[in-house]
Chains A and B, each alone.
Chain A
């Protein structure tokens, strides 16, 4: 009698288990890769500033506080969508954003920030894409959260917009800082 109940219930439980498993797998985007750099220092680099090509930046010139490292290029469609949000959040929050102009001629990168505005505290020109490869970039835009010790804490692949800022980026920033961040009062 007992055995019959077990035999009857087992397939149902297996089925429910699979449903739960696949339900969670639905949220799992196969395009998303885990960064291999998490909890590791930012790779070394020596690259010119986009605006002043005679200035060479290295990893030592990066902000000494928590900052975002945003990989972009004007050739990248989603980067155009992301740009207004970076403008907004660079004004609203006191978190510096460092730009990495990825695989692009200096003149095209410059044109982009001159026409659309510059949300970045500094822009590194990675015209041959080597720094991006060291970062493990596989698609632009990508945004890295780097803490005050220069350690990579998080990588976000995709466009930063209101949703991803509040759901993905800001919670990690607040977690790393150990405090909640309030937007700076807008002057509008």
Chain B
């Protein structure tokens, strides 16, 4: 059973690494930037894969665009903005905080505060009546 799971894990891990094409960059920095960007963009066709991981045709096209733009010396900010203009916040794995997603960002804190208030209110209301008779006898 252990071996089976080990084999299964191995099989899955190979899939994740399957990106076909390689691009030549003039500088090491550009190559790093390229790798960084494709790991931060979500494949619009897929549900939860970066364009670096996905082998969908669209991801391939988007990687090519990133490659072209990085080679042309464009900045990361501009490349992400280019993608965001076309595919919306969905393509960004680090979406901006804005009114439409305030709920997602702040609901956990909000719920936590409510729980905190409820707990504090309960604890505060509880009558602490130490059994003083026992203590004094011991002493």
Residue ranges of A at the interface with B (Cβ–Cβ < 8 Å): 30-31, 33-36, 103, 129, 133-136, 138-139
Contact = CB atoms under 8 A, between A and B. Distances in A.
30 contacts: A30-B47, A31-B47, A33-B44, A33-B87, A33-B88, A33-B90, A34-B88, A35-B88, A36-B84, A36-B85, A36-B86, A36-B87, A36-B88, A103-B57, A129-B61, A133-B61, A133-B62, A133-B65, A133-B86, A134-B86, A135-B86, A136-B44, A136-B86, A136-B87, A136-B88, A138-B44, A138-B45, A138-B58, A138-B87, A139-B58
Contacts of A133: 61-62, 65, 86
Secondary structure at the A interface, as helix, strand, loop or mixed, is: loop
Nearest to A43: B86
Interface residues of B, number: 14
A35 B86 CA distance: 8
Interface in B98-117: none
A133 B62 CA distance: 8
Contacts, number: 31
Interface of B: 44-45, 47, 57-58, 61-62, 65, 84-88, 90
B98 to A, nearest CB: 14
A133 B45 CA distance: 12
Nearest to A36: B88
Nearest to B85: A36
Contacts of A34: 88
A30 B88 CA distance: 14
Nearest to A135: B86
A136 B47 CA distance: 16
B50 to A, nearest CB: 15
A138 B84 CA distance: 13
Contacts of B84: 36
A33 to B, nearest CB: 5
A133 B63 CA distance: 12
Contacts of A134: 86
Given A35-B88, A136-B44, A138-B87, 10 more contacts: A30-B47, A31-B47, A36-B84, A36-B85, A36-B86, A36-B88, A133-B61, A133-B86, A134-B86, A138-B45
Nearest to B62: A133
